[in-house]
């Protein structure tokens, strides 16, 4: 051993020690913290919640450990917890007990999500309530719009989305987030909100939303899997990034107040490009499949959950996301407190 290291040294005779040693800034936890370029905090996180009809319901979602479907009476306690964890906002998804071809329950005054909005406002008044605007949880065919002859029709869907957004804001939503990917939906929703007197309510547009395998677990949670075909005729093709910039630009022209990239982890390049291209806040959705992968690997003992999750969320921030929508938000609040 000793002889070996002597030989090594002779190999480097005349070696000039470096002036620059980046390791100097990595030597202690205090120093690393001092020079950290990216910081995670729950103040920029949004926590998604799924609400269902009934009483006393807290349904497990098999593929998303720690995430539940809540009935309204149970939701009350949950949102108080979210609020006291310092998480500023929730994103609500409603799962109605009755679905039809036109997703009627999405825009009923006393629909499940409208009542959920009121419940959150009542029990956690400091929480900002963001309502997801889409039809797929409400339609019998599971598509995000009006279906005719096996196709999702764009323009007839706009009216239903606009009605949905208005009814959510009437119920008390602080912001609406259209996730359907119909063309011109931001313009339609902006116009409808303004006409209903809600010109101060912002729109967070799911601008660059890709047709992704990573939504799999969500569709179990939201009971929204398409009954035929897939969503590739309206959600974006994962091969494209210039097209994401086009979608973002259109949404901004149409009146979006924030734009979103979704999913996040496999699209960090898209987040970075969008961040560079726009002045608006950029949100990224750390989607269900990204959450489930970490949970599953952690259960198998293959990954350290806390480190893996914080590393992924840090990467999403580093890529340029101002806001992260994540099922880990409550865990992060706990972890950052430890
Ligand atoms: C509804 C919607 C979806 C997600 C958010 N809103 C699913 C989809 O487009 O199929 C996915 C969220 C997630 O996977 O966590 N259109």
Which atom of ligand 1 sits closest to the CA of residue 225? 10
For residue 98, whether the previous peptide bond is cis, meaning omega lies within 30 degrees of 0, is no
pLDDT of residue 2: 47
3-state secondary structure of 48: strand
- Ordered by where they begin, the domains of the chain are 42-337 (3.20.20.70)
For residue 12, the CA-to-ligand 1 centroid distance in Å is 57
- The rounded Å distance from CA 200 to ligand 1 centre is 26
CB of 136 shorter than 6 A to ligand 1: yes
Distance CA 80, CA 301 (A): 32
- What does the alpha-carbon distance between residue 175 and residue 178 come to, in Å, rounded to a whole number? 10
Please list, in sequence order, all residues whose beta carbon lies within 8 angstroms of the beta carbon of residue 227, skipping any fewer than 6 positions away.
Answer: 140, 141, 142
pLDDT(49) > 80: yes
Ligand 1 in contact with 70 (CB < 6 A)?
A: no
pLDDT classification of 231: cutoffs 50, 70, 90:
very high
Q: How far does residue 37's CA lie from ligand 1's centre (Å)?
A: 31
Average pLDDT over residues 261-271: 98
Question: Residue 175 pairs with which residues in a beta bridge?
Answer: 130
What average pLDDT does the segment 269-274 reach?
98
The alpha helices in 71-184, defined as continuous H runs, are 72-84, 112-123, 154-170
Tell me whether residue 216 is exposed, middle or buried, using C-beta atoms within 10 angstroms of its C-beta: 0 to 12, 13 to 18, 19 or more: middle
- Looking at residue 41, its pLDDT comes to 96
**Residue 53 pLDDT > 70, yes or no?**
yes
CA 40 to chain centre: 16
Active site residue 209: yes
If pLDDT is split at 50, 70 and 90, which confidence band does 1 have? very low
Mean pLDDT of 136-160: 96
* pLDDT the model gives residue 4: 56
SS3 label, residue 44:
helix
Query: Angle, nearest 10°, between helix axes 288-299 and 305-319?
Result: 150
- How far CA 94 is from CA of 42, 97, 138, 150, 270, in Å, comes to 24, 10, 8, 25, 29
pLDDT tens string 73-122: 999 999 999 999 999 999 999 999 999 999 999 999 999 999 999 999 99
Tell me how far apart the alpha carbons of residues 187 and 329 are, in angstroms, rounded to a whole number: 31
Ligand 1 pocket, residue 328 CB under 6 Å: no
7 pLDDT higher than 50: yes
Query: pLDDT at position 11, please?
Result: 85
Q: How far apart are CA 244 and CA 100, in angstroms?
A: 32
In whole angstroms, give the CA distance from residue 307 to residue 313: 10
Q: Give the sign of the dihedral formed by CA 264, CA 269, CA 273, CA 275.
A: positive
What residues contact 138, with CB distance under 8 A and at least 6 apart?
Answer: 94, 96, 99, 100, 103, 104, 105, 106
Q: Tell me the pLDDT tens digit for each residue of 239-248.
A: 999 999 999 9
Distance between CA atoms of residues 321 and 315, nearest Å: 9
pLDDT interval class at 304 (50, 70, 90): very high
d(CA 217, CA 99): 20
Residues 231, 245: Cα–Cα separation, whole Å: 20
Q: Please identify which of the residues 121, 246, 262, 306 carries the catalytic annotation.
A: 262
Mean pLDDT throughout 190-200? 98
> Is 9's pLDDT higher than 70?
no
Q: What is the pLDDT of residues 283-294, one digit of tens each?
A: 999 999 999 999
Q: Mean pLDDT of all residues in the chain?
A: 96
């Amino acid at each position: 051993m000793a002889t070996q290291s002597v030989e090594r040294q002779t190999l480097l005779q005349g070696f000039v020690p470096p002036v620059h040693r980046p390791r100097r800034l990595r030597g202690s936890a205090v120093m690393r913290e001092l020079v950290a370029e990216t910081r995670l905090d729950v103040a920029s996180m949004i926590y998604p919640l799924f609400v269902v009809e009934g009483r006393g319901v807290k349904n497990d979602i098999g593929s998303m450990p720690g995430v539940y479907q809540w009935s309204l009476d149970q939701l009350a306690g949950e949102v108080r917890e979210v609020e006291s964890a310092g998480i500023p906002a929730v994103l609500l998804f409603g799962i109605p007990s009755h679905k039809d071809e036109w997703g009627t329950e999405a825009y009923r005054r006393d629909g499940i999500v409208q009542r959920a909005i009121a419940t959150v406002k009542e029990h956690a008044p400091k929480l900002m309530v963001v309502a997801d605007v889409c039809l797929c949880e409400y339609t019998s065919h599971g598509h995000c719009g009006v279906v005719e002859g096996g196709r999702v029709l764009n323009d007839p869907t706009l009216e239903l989305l606009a009605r949905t957004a208005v009814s959510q804001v009437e119920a008390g939503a602080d912001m609406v987030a259209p996730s359907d990917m119909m063309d011109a939906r931001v313009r339609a929703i902006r116009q409808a909100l303004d006409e209903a007197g809600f010109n101060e309510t912002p729109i967070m547009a799911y601008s660059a939303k890709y047709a992704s395998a990573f939504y799999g677990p969500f569709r179990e949670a939201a009971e929204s899997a398409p009954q035929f075909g897939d969503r590739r005729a309206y959600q974006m093709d994962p091969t494209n990034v210039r097209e994401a910039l086009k979608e973002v630009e259109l949404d901004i022209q149409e009146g979006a107040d924030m734009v979103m990239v979704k999913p996040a982890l496999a699209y960090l390049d898209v987040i970075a490009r969008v961040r560079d291209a726009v002045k608006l806040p950029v949100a990224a959705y750390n989607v269900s499949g990204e959450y489930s992968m970490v949970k599953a690997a952690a259960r198998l003992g293959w990954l350290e959950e806390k480190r893996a999750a914080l590393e992924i969320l840090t990467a999403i921030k580093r890529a340029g996301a101002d806001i992260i929508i994540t099922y880990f938000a409550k865990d992060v609040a706990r972890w950052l407190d430890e």
